[in-house]
Amino acid sequence: MKKREDGKNSQTVAKNAYNARNYDRIAIQVNKGERERIKSFAANQGESVNSLVNKLLAEAIPDFIPVGAELNNMDN
């Protein structure tokens, strides 16, 4: 991968800039040990933790658009 003059990876810098422009980040706190349970549950459902949280939010909040849904709607 190509490095910039400052030593950073160009592709990583571009991805980080894209993510900063297009997404908000939410950090949540859970009790010790729950993170691994959540990751395991999501994996057993065939999902990432992020996709699981987005799916649950979409079920709970009217008009919530989960990450990636706008891309899926473009295919139809």
**Separation of CA 16 from chain center:** 13
Q: Which residue, 25, 73, 27, 46, is CA-closest to 65?
A: 73
Range of the domain at 65: 10-75
Cβ 50 vs Cβ 59: under 8 Å: no
- Is residue 33 one of the residues assigned to a domain? yes
Q: pLDDT tens-digit profile of 13-38?
A: 999 999 999 999 999 999 999 999 99
> How many domains is the chain partitioned into structurally?
1
**Separation of CA 49 from chain center:** 8
Cβ 37 vs Cβ 44: under 8 Å: no
Q: What pLDDT was estimated at residue 14?
A: 92
pLDDT higher than 90, residue 49: yes
Q: pTM value? A: 0.72
- Is residue 53 one of the residues assigned to a domain? yes
- Is residue 24 one of the residues assigned to a domain? yes
Percent of the chain with pLDDT over 90: 71
